[in-house]
Amino acid sequence: MRKLLNDPADLVKESLAGLAAAHGDLLRYDAAAQFVARVDAPRQGKVALISGGGSGHEPMHGGFVGLGMLDAACPGEVFTSPVPDQMLAATKAVDGGAGVVHIVKNYTGDVMNFKMAAEDAADEGITVESVLIDDDVAVQDSLYTAGRRGVGATVLAEKLAGASAERGDDVATVAGIARRVDDQARSFGIALSSCTPPAAGKPIFDLPEGEMEIGIGIHGEPGRRRAPLGTLNEIAELLVDAVVSDLKPDSGTKVLPFVNGMGGTPQIELYALYGEVDRLLRARGLEPIRRLIGSYITSLEMAGASLTLLALDDELTELWDAPVHTPALRWGA
Amino acid sequence: MRKLLNDPADLVKESLAGLAAAHGDLLRYDAAAQFVARVDAPRQGKVALISGGGSGHEPMHGGFVGLGMLDAACPGEVFTSPVPDQMLAATKAVDGGAGVVHIVKNYTGDVMNFKMAAEDAADEGITVESVLIDDDVAVQDSLYTAGRRGVGATVLAEKLAGASAERGDDVATVAGIARRVDDQARSFGIALSSCTPPAAGKPIFDLPEGEMEIGIGIHGEPGRRRAPLGTLNEIAELLVDAVVSDLKPDSGTKVLPFVNGMGGTPQIELYALYGEVDRLLRARGLEPIRRLIGSYITSLEMAGASLTLLALDDELTELWDAPVHTPALRWGA
C-alpha cells in the first residue's frame, strides 16, 4: 500500500481528530460517540441536518459540517455503515427542538441503521425526517443496494437543504428541498483504477491499465460494463448521455453540473473534463449557471470521475448561493 | 496511463479552457498568449501579482487567480517552464500602472524566463519586482535547480502578497511581503509513488511499493534518501523535524502549518497527518493559529505529502484572513 498510515484500525479516528484540530472553529469531534458536530449545535429553533455513511469518501461527510450545511456527520469505518447508536447520539446532540433531517445515501446498511436511529429518536420525542438519496443511473440494483445508489447528489442535497435549514425553514420544508434535489439530479461515474481500503491492504477489484469500469459505484461496485479506456471527450459524452437521457430536462433548463474526482484523478484532468461537459450540455440546449468541480465524494485514491447534473430552479439557485462555511465548501462567509 | 485524456499535447490548453468556462466570473483565458488573468484586470493603481511555471501542479497557479491573490498565471506545458513571451504578455495585460510583482519558484528555467520577461517589461516602462521562492529544505541543488527549490511557500506567498496588493500597498511592499513569506517558511515533502506525465506516458521515476522518497521535489527530483515506508507518525516527525530544525522558530512562535497532498493521497490521510503534525508542533512549543490542508501544489497523481511551516506575525495573520476569491481558495467573499 502507498498510504500514510499507522494502524489501519485507527485511521478513521485519527483523521476525524485531525479534522477537529484543524477546524475547531467550525466543528468538534465526539470520539466516544463517534460523530462530528457543529460547535454551535444545538441551535434552538433551527432544523438540524445530519448525514453519515462509510468513511473513505472524504471530504464527504465530515468536511461538510458547518454553517449552512450539516449539523453533524456520522462516519463508519472505511466503506462500512455507521451504527445506529452513532446516528442516535448525533441526533440528540444537535436537535434544537425544531426537528432533524437525516440525509441517507441508498445503501442497505445505511438505510437500515438510519431507520433504527430515527425510530429511537422518535421514541425520545425528536421529530426526524429521513431523505433517501438515489441518484446514480448506472444500475438498478447493486452489490450493497436495492434500487439506485446514492452518490454525487448527496453533496448537493447537503448544501441546499443546509441552506434551507439555515434560513429558518421548518423540518418538512428542509426535507422537501433535499428530496427535490434527489428528484432533479442524476449521476454517473467511471473508474480508471481501483482503490485499496487500508484494512484490506489490497485493491477491491482488478482493473487492468487501458480499461475503464463504466457506471462504477463509490465502493467499487460493478457498473454497466467494462470497456477499453476512451478519450476524455468520449468519456464526457458518455457521462452527459447517461445523466441527460435519464433526467430528460427540457431544452433551456438551467443546470448545475458537478464534475467530481474519485480521489486519484488530478485537477488538471477534472477541469479539462469540465470544459467538454460544459460544451456538450450547451449543445443540448441546457444552460450551466452554477457548477462544482473537485474531489468531493471520493473512493480513497481511486482514479476516475463522475458527473452529477442538477436541474435548477430559482429557489435552488438562491440556496446554492447562500453562505456556507465548512472545511470543504466555503463561500460568502 | 490511467488518465482522462485526449491528445496529451492538448491537455494544458483544454484544462485552462475548462477553468475559464467554470470560473468566468473570476478569470479569462487568453489562448493565443497562453495565460489566465482576472476578468477585472488591469485595475488602475493596484499592484498586479503574477506567477507561473510548469503545469501538473494544479490548482497552482491558475486556480489562484482572482480577488486577493494572483492577477495572472502563466502555465507552461506539464513540468515545463512557460516562455518569456507568456510572462511578458501577462505582465502587459494586467499592469495597472502601479507595477507588477513576479512570484518565481526557484527552478532554472522559470528564473531565466521570468528574468527575460521582466527585462522586456522594463523596456516598455513597466516596473517589475521579482521575488524568488526557495523554501524546500530537502537539498541544496537539484535536478532543475541551483540552490533550494521553490515549493509550498509559493501558495502562501501568493495569498499573502495578493492580500497586500488588494489593500493598496505599493510594489515594494507587496514584493516585501512575498519575500518575508519566503524568509519565514520552510517545506519538506515525501513521495510514496511516482506520477506519470501525460506526454511521456510512463512514470518519471521508479519507486517500489513499501518505499518512500524522502525530500521529494514536485517534479520527482530526488530527495535526501530513499527508505522503507514509515508509519504516518514517523513521517509526521520527519516532516516536522526537517522544517523546524531549519527554520529554528522561537518557542511560542505562532505558525501556519500547510499540510499539502501531492495529488494522489486522499484527504482521509491528509487530515490524519495534520492531526499528528499539529500535536508535534505544540509539543515543540509552537502555536498553530492558522492552517491549510489539501492538495494545492501537486505533482499530477503522485502519492505523498509535504509540510510547509510559516512563522506568522500580526501582519501576515491579518493578510491571511483577508478575503480571497479564486477557484481553489475562497473565504470572506
Q: Looking at the DSSP assignment, which residues form a beta bridge with residue A27?
A: A38
Say which residue the cell 524568488 belongs to: B132
The pLDDT confidence band at residue B22, using thresholds 50, 70 and 90, is very high
Q: What is the pLDDT of residue A289?
A: 98
For B59, the closest chain A residue by CA position comes to A267
Whether A297 and chain B come into contact, CB under 8 Å, resolves to: no
Supply the mean pLDDT for chain A. 97
Task: Dump pLDDT digits (tens) for A60-111.
Answer: 999 999 999 999 999 999 999 999 999 999 999 999 999 999 999 999 999 9
Q: What is the pLDDT of residue B143?
A: 86
Radius of gyration of chain B (CA): 19
DSSP-derived letter for residue A82 is P
Task: Count Cα atoms within 13 angstroms, Cβ side, for A231.
Answer: 9
Task: Say if residues B162 and B174 touch (Cβ distance below 8 Å).
Answer: no
Assembly ipTM: 0.98
* pLDDT higher than threshold 90 for residue B141: no
A14: which chain B residues are within 8 Å (Cβ-Cβ)? 232, 272, 275-276
Q: What is the pLDDT of residue B333?
A: 87
Whether B11 and chain A come into contact, CB under 8 Å, resolves to: yes
Q: What is the pLDDT of residue B115?
A: 98
Active site residue A61: no
Task: Say if residues A101 and A174 touch (Cβ distance below 8 Å).
Answer: yes
Task: Dump pLDDT digits (tens) for B61-91.
Answer: 999 999 999 999 999 999 999 999 999 999 9
Q: What domains are defined for chain A? A: 8-183 (3.40.50.10440), 185-320 (3.30.1180.20)
Q: Is the preceding peptide bond at B42 cis, omega within 30 degrees of 0?
A: yes
Q: What is the pLDDT of residue A333?
A: 87
Whether A293 and chain B come into contact, CB under 8 Å, resolves to: yes
Tell me the percentage of chain A whose pLDDT exceeds 70. Answer: 100
Provide the shortest C-alpha distance from residue A123 to chain B (in Å).
35
Q: What is the pLDDT of residue B161?
A: 99
Say which residue the cell 458536530 belongs to: A37
Do the chains contact at A330 and B330, CB–CB below 8 Å?
yes
d(CA B129, CA B121): 11
Active site residue A219: yes
pTM of the model: 0.98
d(CA B333, CA B324): 6
* pLDDT higher than threshold 90 for residue A225: yes
Task: Dump pLDDT digits (tens) for A142-185.
Answer: 888 899 999 999 999 999 999 999 999 999 999 999 999 999 99
Of B14, B59, B305, the CB nearest to A267: B59
DSSP-derived letter for residue A208 is -
Q: What is the pLDDT of residue A141?
A: 87
A269: which chain B residues are within 8 Å (Cβ-Cβ)? 3-5, 11, 15
Provide the shortest C-alpha distance from residue A47 to chain B (in Å).
25
Residues 6+ apart with CB under 8 A from A290: A256, A312, A317, A320, A321
Whether A333 and chain B come into contact, CB under 8 Å, resolves to: yes
- Residues of B carrying an active site annotation: 57, 219
Q: What is the pLDDT of residue A143?
A: 86
* pLDDT higher than threshold 90 for residue B47: yes
Catalytic choice (A57, A61, A102, A325): A57
* pLDDT higher than threshold 90 for residue B142: no
Q: What is the pLDDT of residue A78?
A: 98
Query: Per-residue pLDDT averaged across B191-209, rounded?
Result: 96
- DSSP three-state, residue B283: helix
